[in-house]
Chain A
Amino acid sequence: MGSLGVFVDRQVMGSSEQLTALIRLRDQAEAMGHAVYFIFPVEVRKVARVDGLFIRSRTDPLHISYVAAKLAEFHGIPVIDDPVSIQVCSDKVNMYLHLMNGQVRVPETRFLGKRDITRGGAEEVFSTLGTPVILKEPSTSFSLRVEKVNSVEEFLKVAKRFIKLSDWIVAQQYLSSSYDWRIGVLDGKLLYAAQYIIPSETFKIQDTVNGHLVYCAVRSVPAPEVPRPVIETGLAAARAIGRGLYGVDIKECDGTPYVIEVNDNPSLEGGEDQSYPDLYRRIVAALVGEGPG
């Protein structure tokens, strides 16, 4: 019997969907004969006492979740998400550099510094990436600080806001689609596949429209129904980052898959596992083994 630590915070525990997913994970681990302990930020040192650590809290190299991941690494404890995955995936610049270096197809991408945030710089970006352009602040998560700009004026307004938070920002070709594929990958293998159906009011999988949060609908799709190139692209993108748990977002354009981003700490609470009943078992097994259960 092993002990699985699940690092959470009050935001996660305050969400009924996430809490339900955590309970299912706990039930699965216990059914496999493992004990499960929820570890909160103020108890982060308890990470050293478990046999495997699953982080279910917003990840960022400057957040307490990174401390948890590093403590696990220092103690030789298997951890999802591992510190390198957090470092790479929580930073869009680093993530796209890894993807491009790994020959993974992404939308046309430029990295912009302070010197590029000028009228001339904006015109150059539009002339190479087309209109509209997507601007991303590197630490974006849940589609925050991802904006579509249609003019030089909009570009300058958004880019100036983002460049205050990061010395480099991302400008990207806009690809339109009514849904994104989400390919879940664990240790280099397909874990699940789903379609994230983008709300008609926005181009993002989550957004605030007229003061109201709108979310994408999630449709779990059995592997045989997923186009092979989409799965292969998802696996290639994950490989370019590491061996952890990733949710790879892919848009198909004229039948060609493009990786929009690779998420560490991918959401599991939206019904992604509906066609993949062994999803939680595989995660638990990766961290603490199959157990006696």
Chain B
Amino acid sequence: MGGNPWFLFPCGRRWCLMNKGEREDPFTTGSIHLRHIGHATYVISEDYSFKTETYYRIVSLEVKGKATVPSSRETLEAYVVPVCLSRAEGAGIPVLPWVISDRQVPLPAILYGVHYFADPSEYSVVRDAETAGRVVRFITNGGKYPFCYQPIGEETGILPVTAIFGKTASAPDGVGLLCAEIYRVFHLPLVNCIFAQTGDRFALSSLTPVRYSSLAREERAILSQVMEEECHG
């Protein structure tokens, strides 16, 4: 797999595996950070999608019998929307209802593709029939695949919240606890939690990748701090 971009460096009383250049800017686009804590390897990345470099790093470790956080199973459960919501609901996390359709969609709704070419970071909030028709044609590849819709109320808004090991920088009351619970279930160190907000109620709509470049200063501080804490165990 080309040159090895990883090296060991002393970190407290342990050795940590780090990516070259990490000391200057640890969170460069596409960088993957491995932390060995106890018997598990924590894999910190922007994107855990199927068939990405991160996904294959995780799979390679698992096949060798190493425990990873997250596991490849958890990454798939997190990013395939109906699976994510079923899993989260089973763990007591409030979620939006979801329906699989091939054409019809009541309005307003949030739409997701469910197929090989679907991008887990893409969702569409549709409030009128024309937009819905256009989005459905796109995410179903012209009707070839089914899609997932989540009915929402007229007053419902979308609240994306970045969770770093389940911690958040500035989430509303209650949402922080939900993010902590989401981490407990899916174990994604870095994830965008897409919530539907209706008044003071929040329901999970999906989990999506996070770009390091989109992290606010406070969120970067949390990420650095958590990684440092984890390293020092």
Interface residues of A (CB under 8 A from B): 41-45, 60-64, 66-67, 70-71, 74, 83-84, 87, 91, 93-94, 97-98, 101, 111-113, 115-116, 138-139, 165-168
Q: Is the CB of A74 within 8 A of B2?
A: no
Instruction: Please name all residues of chain A whose beta carbon is closer than 8 Å to the beta carbon of B76 when the two chains form the complex.
Output: 61, 66, 83, 87
List the 5 closest pairs (A to B, CB-CB), nearest first: A115-B2, A166-B51, A41-B146, A167-B53, A97-B63
Q: List 14 A-B contacts (CB under 8 A).
A: A41-B102, A44-B82, A62-B50, A63-B114, A64-B115, A64-B146, A67-B114, A91-B50, A91-B59, A93-B56, A138-B51, A165-B51, A167-B56, A168-B1
**Which of B60, B80, B83, B102 makes the CB contact (< 8 A) with A42?**
B102
User: What is the size category of the interface that chain B forms with chain A?
Assistant: 20 to 34
CB distance from B128 to the nearest CB of A (A): 23
Instruction: Please name all residues of chain A whose beta carbon is closer than 8 Å to the beta carbon of B145 when the two chains form the complex.
Output: 63-64
* Chain A interface mostly: helix
Q: Is the CB of B59 within 8 A of A64?
A: no
Q: Is the CB of A167 within 8 A of B80?
A: no
CB distance from B146 to the nearest CB of A (A): 4
Instruction: Please name all residues of chain B whose beta carbon is closer than 8 Å to the beta carbon of A111 when the two chains form the complex.
Output: 1, 56
Given A70-B77, A87-B76, A139-B116, check contact A44 B100 (CB 8 Å). yes
Encoded as 1 (CB less than 8 Å from any A CB) or 0, chain B from 115 to 126 comes to 110100000000
Q: Is the CB of B80 within 8 A of A97?
A: no
Q: Give Cα A44 to B99, complex, Å.
A: 9
Interface residues of B (CB under 8 A from A): 1-3, 50-53, 55-56, 59-60, 63-64, 72-73, 76-77, 80, 82-83, 86-87, 90, 100-102, 114-116, 118, 145-146
Instruction: Please name all residues of chain B whose beta carbon is closer than 8 Å to the beta carbon of A166 when the two chains form the complex.
Output: 51
Q: Is the CB of A74 within 8 A of B82?
A: no
Q: Is the CB of A168 within 8 A of B73?
A: no
Instruction: Please name all residues of chain A whose beta carbon is closer than 8 Å to the beta carbon of B86 when the two chains form the complex.
Output: 70-71, 74
Q: Is the CB of A116 within 8 A of B1?
A: yes
Q: Is the CB of A94 within 8 A of B77?
A: no
